[in-house]
Amino acid sequence: MSAVFIISAPSGSGKSTLVKRVLSNDPALLFSVSYTTRRPRGLEKDGESYCYISREEFQARMARDEFLECAEVFGNYYGTHNSVWKRALEEGKDLLLDIDVQGAQQLKERIPEAVSIFVLAPSRAVLEQRLRARGEDSEPVVQKRLAGAAREIRNYARYDYVVVNDRVEQAVANLEAIIRAERLRRERMEERMRPILETFGEIL
């Protein structure tokens, strides 16, 4: 039984760095590459960072109900295609998604057993510093992202876990601990347990 892990965080929280580290350490995870209508930034590559499509194509896919979840964030659409969940099930891998608060709520409605994790920067000052250090956004955009972060953080109580990203190594370790613990839940161990239980015939 494949597990689904949702990771959400305000821009600048260091979520992408954490996700990359976790993925590089765990070959049993399949990362969901989201579709988006925004333009690529820096060294981002189509099909790796995001699948970049036009606004018209995104809306057409929405009309065909092709997304597990989708949302408009800062004027651009983002969405998780249905096919990635099917692929995870076929390959016997757990699915890891990097999606925003809106998308996380939608996905939990579709897949209630999904595990949600909220990543926080240690303070607003640190978050602002990280946003400015990226050098990607104008001052109005930085302020817009900070305001958006305040709104997103209000939703932290809806998540199963919270990870504070004050030190990268520790935050990665905490994420990996959550994933390991969730994989050991009884309902996810049923298939592995069955042949063991069968050796004790009378239990079944």
Give dist(CA 83, CA 37) in Å, integer.
18
Contact yes or no for 18/155 (Cβ under 8 A):
no
Contact yes or no for 165/13 (Cβ under 8 A):
yes
Give dist(CA 25, CA 196) in Å, integer.
29
Contact yes or no for 163/22 (Cβ under 8 A):
no
Task: Indicate if the pLDDT at residue 203 is higher than 70.
Answer: no
102 torsion bin: left (phi>0), alpha (psi -120 to 50), beta (else): alpha
Task: Indicate if the pLDDT at residue 101 is higher than 70.
Answer: yes
10 φ, ψ to 5°? -65, 155
Task: Indicate if the pLDDT at residue 173 is higher than 90.
Answer: yes
pLDDT-derived band at 137 (thresholds 50, 70, 90) equals confident
What tokens appear for 135 in the block?
Answer: 């050098």
Task: Indicate if the pLDDT at residue 199 is higher than 90.
Answer: no
Residue 41 is predicted with a pLDDT of 81
Residue 47 is predicted with a pLDDT of 84
The DSSP result for 110-149, as a single string, is: H-TT-EEEEEE-S-HHHHHHHHHHH--S-HHHHHHHHHHH
Q: Which residues are CB-contacts of 204 (< 8 A; sequence separation ≥ 6)?
A: 197, 198
What tokens appear for 46 in the block?
Answer: 């189509």
Mean pLDDT of 149-162: 92
3-class secondary structure, 117: strand
Output the average pLDDT for the chain.
90
pLDDT-derived band at 200 (thresholds 50, 70, 90) equals confident
Mean pLDDT of 143-163: 91
Question: Which domains, ranges and CATH numbers included, belong to the chain?
Answer: 4-187 (3.40.50.300)
